[in-house]
Amino acid sequence: MSPSATDSKIDYRTCPLCEATCGLEIHHRDGVVTRIRGDREDVFSRGYVCPKGASLKSLHEDPDRLRTPWIREGSKWREATWPEAFAEVERGLAPIVARGGGAVGVYLGNPNVHNMAGSFFVRPLLKALRTRNLFSASTVDQMPRHVACGFLFGSGGLMPVPDLDRTQHLLMLGANPLESNGTLCTAPDFPGRLAAIRKRGGKVVVVDPRRTRTAKKADEHLPIRPGTDVYFQLALAQVLVDEKLVTLGANAEWIDGLERLPDLLLPYAPERVAALTGIDADTIRRHARELAAADSAAVYGGMANHTVEFGALSAWSADLLNILTGNLDRAGGVMFANAAHSRPVHKRSDPQEHRGGKGFVTGRWRSRVRNWAEVQGELPVATLAEEIETPGEGQIRALLTVGGNPVLSTPNGARLDAALADLEFMVSVDPYRNETTRHAHVILPPPSPLERSHYDVAFYGISVRNVANYSPAIFESENPSEAEILARLALIAQGQGAAADPSLVDELLIGGAIQAAVADEETPLSTRDPAELRAMVRGDSANDRILDVLLRCGPYGDGFGARPDGLSLEKLEQNPHGIDLGPLQPRLPEILRTPSGHIELTPPPIIEDFERLAARMEARAGESGLLLIGRRHVRSNNSWMHNLEPLVSGRPRCTLQLHPDDAAAVGLSTGDTARVRSRVGVLEVPVEVTEDIMAGVVSLPHGWGHDRPGTQMRIARQHAGVNANILTDDLAIDVLSGNAILNGVPVQLERVVQ
C-alpha cells in the first residue's frame, strides 16, 4: 500500500443535523472515519459539539441506511438500479400528475432545511407537480412564527433572533436549548452563550411546565400551565402599556397600530390570567418591570411557544414585547441576520424613502375537506390524512415525501399511517425505510451527509452572528446526489420522462439566480451580461454553483469581480473554519415588506384572532384536566436517529413523566405502565415520576414508536418506544397559522394492571 493511501486526513465541516451549525473536525483514513470532534478553530462554534455531531460516523456506516433504490411490490421489497427506480416512478407517478387538481400531494420534512438540495431543488419540483396539496413539518413546528413575523414585518422569512451574545436579559418560553441546541436561533454552544449572559451580570428566565436542564441553569424558572404563554406574554405587555413602561426607541417612527393596544390588552391584565397560567399576578408584574428596566432584553419563544393553541398570537406576543421595550433591531435585543447568500437590501440615506413591499397574506387557497387556509403556500399537515381519505375531486391519490416521517411527527399518526396504505402510489426520497417510507412504492435514498457539500442556506438567515461556512463533500458517492434525484423527479413530473437530462434543471436554477441578481436595478450587477457571469461561476456540483452565484451577488459578495475581497465559493473554500462576518447590525426599516413599509402591529387577522382568544379564555378558565406536552433529549433528532446505537444506549428514554401528586392520584410509581388516552388515541407507556414537572402536566417525547411492521431500522426497533402523536389531535389546529397543537393536549391516565 502506498503511504498516501494510509495517511490520515482531516476535513472540516459544518454539522448538518440541527440548527446550531457546529464545526466538526473529521479524521478519516482510506475512506473510513476514524474520529470526529468539535473544530476548535470554527469561527462560530469554537469546538463545541453535542453527541449527535460525533454520530455522523455511525450514520454514515449504518447498514440499515439505504444505498440503492428500493421498490415495493405488495409487501415485498427489492433492490433496484437507479434507472429502474426512476422508470418505476415515471410509470406510477406521471399519470397521476397528469390528472391535475391536486391528485399528487407532497410532504417535506425537516431535513430539507438542513441540506442545499432541499433549499434549491424542491422549488422546481413543486412547480413541475403543479399541486396545491403541499404539506411540511413547518405546520408541526414554527409556522406560527412565520405568520406573526409576516404580519408584523411583511414577510414570513423576516424573523428576528435574540442577540444572545450581547443581551442582558433573556426571557425564554417553550424552549429547552440545553437539549435541543435551539430553534429559530442559530447559536452553536447555546448552553455556553446562556452561561455567558449570567456571567456578565445579565439574567436568564425560563418559562416551562418542566424544570428542564435549561431551567436549572437559569436565574429564574417560571412553571406555566401548557398552552397559556400567550396570556402570560399579553399580561406582560398589558403591564408595560398600563404602567407607561413602553419605550419604542429608534423604531418609533415606523410602528403602526399602537393605539389599539390598550383596549386589546385590557382583558389580559395579570390578575385576570394568573389562575389560567399558574403564575401569580405579582410575579407577572415584576417580570414586565424587569423586562422594561433591563439595559437590553430579548423575549425568545421556542417550538412550544408555537405548537400550542393560539400559537401565532403567542409568537406575535413575544415580538410585541420586544417592540414595546425598544429591543427590536438593537444590540442585545432581537435582530435580523444578514446572510451572505441573501439578496442585498439597499440602505436609504433617508429612511422615509423606504417603500415596503407586497405584505403578507394567507388563505390564497383552502384545503378541500375542512377549508383551512393556505399559509406560506402550504396546507396544515394535520389535514393530510383526510385529504387522502376523502373521495371527490382533488383527492390526494399519490404522495411524494422528501425527508419526512409524518407517521411519527404529525398529529393522529395512526390515522395517517392507515391513510398512506390507501394511496395509489407513493415515492419517498429518504435514506431509511421507516414508519412512513415503508408505505412508499419506491424509495430513493440520498447520499450520506459526508458525501455531499454543505452550506446552511436556511440557518444563516436566523443566526446570532453573521457567518458563512462551506464544507466540501468528504467522500464521493457513486449514487446520484439528492439534487439530481429531485431534478429527475421534476423532469418526470413535467412529462419529460425518467431519462431526461437533470442538468437542464441545474442550468435553470443557476440562470435564474443570475437573472434575479442582474434584475435588481440598484446593484452594479445590473449592467452585467448574464452569459458573462455564467461563465465565471464555479463549483463541482449544481448546489455549489448556485451557492457561488448567491454568495457573489450577496451583501458581502465579490460582485463577480467588482469587489475582489468579497465572498465567493472559492473564498469560503479557502477558509475551512468559516468566515465571521461580525455581530448582527440594525436593518430597519429597509428590510420591512409590509405594504406601508412600517411595522404593522394590529392588522385585521390579528384583531380577529384576539376575538377568538377572548372567547377561548373564558372556556379555558373552567378546565383543569391533565395536559400532555413533549420533550427532547440531547441524543435524539426528531424521529430518525434512533437507529444509531450511541444515541439510544442506556436507560429507555421514551417514558411518560408525571408529578408525584398526579401519580398518586392513579396509583402509579416509576416503572409502572400507564394507559394514556386522548380524544383520538390510546397508548401504554412506562412512567417516570418526577418533581421536575408541574402537577397537572404529563410529558412524552416524540419521534418514537418504531415497532411498525415493514421497516428496516433494526436498532430503533429494539428501542421502539411509543408514538406520542397517537395522542395528538388532528382536529386541533391554530386558526391563524394552520399549525398543529402538539403541546397542551388533554389526556386521561389510568394504571395498567399487569
Write out the H or E segment, with its range, that includes residue 747. Answer: strand 745-751
Residue 224 contact among ligand SF4, Mo ion, ligand MGD, none, beta carbon within 5 to 8 Å by kind: ligand MGD
Among 18, 94, 143, 514, binds ligand SF4 (CB under 6 A): 18
Instruction: Say whether residue 17 binds ligand SF4 (CB under 6 A).
Output: yes
Instruction: Say whether residue 467 binds ligand SF4 (CB under 6 A).
Output: no
- Are 601 and 255 in contact, with CB atoms under 8 Å apart? yes
Residue 22 contact among Mo ion, ligand SF4, ligand MGD, none, beta carbon within 5 to 8 Å by kind: ligand SF4
Q: Which stretch binds ligand SF4 (CB under 6 A): 20-28, 567-575, 624-632, 723-731?
A: 20-28
Tell me how far, at minimum, the Cβ of 689 lies from ligand SF4, in Å.
30
Among 155, 362, 728, 739, binds ligand MGD (CB under 6 A): 728
Q: Closer to Mo ion by CB, 187 or 328: give it.
A: 187
Give CA angle at 130 (126, 131), nearest 5°. Answer: 85
**What does the per-residue mask of binding to ligand MGD show for 400-439, with x meaning CB under 6 A?**
--xxxxx--x-------------------xxxx-x-----
Q: Closer to Mo ion by CB, 270 or 461: give it.
A: 461
Q: Strand pairing of 220-222 and 442-444? A: unpaired
Taking the C-alpha atoms of residue 587 and residue 334, their distance in angstroms, rounded to an integer, is 11
Number of other residues whose CB lies within 10 A of the CB of residue 146: 28
Phi, psi of 664, deg, nearest 5 = -60, -35
Tell me how far, at minimum, the Cβ of 304 lies from ligand MGD, in Å.
3
Tell me how far, at minimum, the Cβ of 367 lies from Mo ion, in Å.
22
Q: Which stretch binds ligand MGD (CB under 6 A): 2-10, 41-49, 220-228, 674-682?
A: 220-228
- Are 93 and 110 in contact, with CB atoms under 8 Å apart? no
Taking the C-alpha atoms of residue 195 and residue 185, their distance in angstroms, rounded to an integer, is 16
What is the side-by-side order of every strand in the sheet holding 298-301? 220-222, 203-207, 169-173, 298-301
Q: For residue 620, give Cα distances in angstroms to 174, 309, 712.
A: 20, 11, 44
Among 13, 15, 141, 291, binds ligand SF4 (CB under 6 A): 15
160: preceding bond cis by omega (within 30 degrees): no
Tell me how far, at minimum, the Cβ of 455 lies from ligand SF4, in Å.
14
Q: For residue 46, give Cα distances in angstroms to 24, 37, 427, 487.
A: 10, 11, 40, 36
Interaction residues for ligand MGD, span 157-186 (CB under 6 A): 173-177, 179-181, 183
Q: Closer to ligand SF4 by CB, 488 or 702: give it.
A: 702
585: left (phi over 0), alpha (psi -120 to 50) or beta: beta
Interaction residues for ligand SF4, span 43-102 (CB under 6 A): 49-50, 52-53
Taking the C-alpha atoms of residue 703 and residue 705, their distance in angstroms, rounded to an integer, is 7
- Are 397 and 423 in contact, with CB atoms under 8 Å apart? yes
Q: Closer to ligand SF4 by CB, 634 or 666: give it.
A: 634
Q: Let me know how long the chain is.
A: 754
Sign of CA dihedral 295, 296, 299, 302: negative
Taking the C-alpha atoms of residue 667 and residue 121, their distance in angstroms, rounded to an integer, is 54
Contact residues for Mo ion, defined by CB under 5 A: 141
Among 4, 28, 17, residue whose Cα is nearest residue 474: 28
Beta strands in 95-168 (DSSP E): 104-108, 134-136, 161-162
Among 264, 251, 370, residue whose Cα is nearest residue 316: 264
607: CB partners within 8 A, 6+ apart: 260, 264
Tell me how far, at minimum, the Cβ of 188 lies from ligand SF4, in Å.
6
Tell me how far, at minimum, the Cβ of 136 lies from Mo ion, in Å.
10
3-state SS, residue 635: coil
Interaction residues for ligand SF4, span 714-753 (CB under 6 A): none
Residue 15 contact among ligand MGD, Mo ion, ligand SF4, none, beta carbon within 5 to 8 Å by kind: ligand SF4
**What does the per-residue mask of binding to ligand SF4 show for 170-189, with x meaning CB under 6 A?**
-----------x------x-
Residue 431 contact among Mo ion, ligand SF4, ligand MGD, none, beta carbon within 5 to 8 Å by kind: ligand MGD
Alpha helical stretches, state H, 595-720 = 604-621, 645-648, 660-666, 714-718
Tell me how far, at minimum, the Cβ of 606 lies from Mo ion, in Å.
24
Residue 724 contact among ligand MGD, ligand SF4, Mo ion, none, beta carbon within 5 to 8 Å by kind: ligand MGD
Residue 630 contact among ligand SF4, Mo ion, ligand MGD, none, beta carbon within 5 to 8 Å by kind: ligand MGD
Q: Which residues bind ligand SF4 (CB under 6 A)?
A: 15, 17-18, 20-22, 49-50, 52-53, 181, 188
Q: Which residues bind ligand MGD (CB under 6 A)?
A: 18, 109-111, 115, 137, 140-141, 173-177, 179-181, 183, 207-210, 212, 224, 226-227, 229, 302-304, 308, 402-406, 409, 429-432, 434, 446, 482, 629-634, 636-640, 702-703, 724-725, 728, 742-744
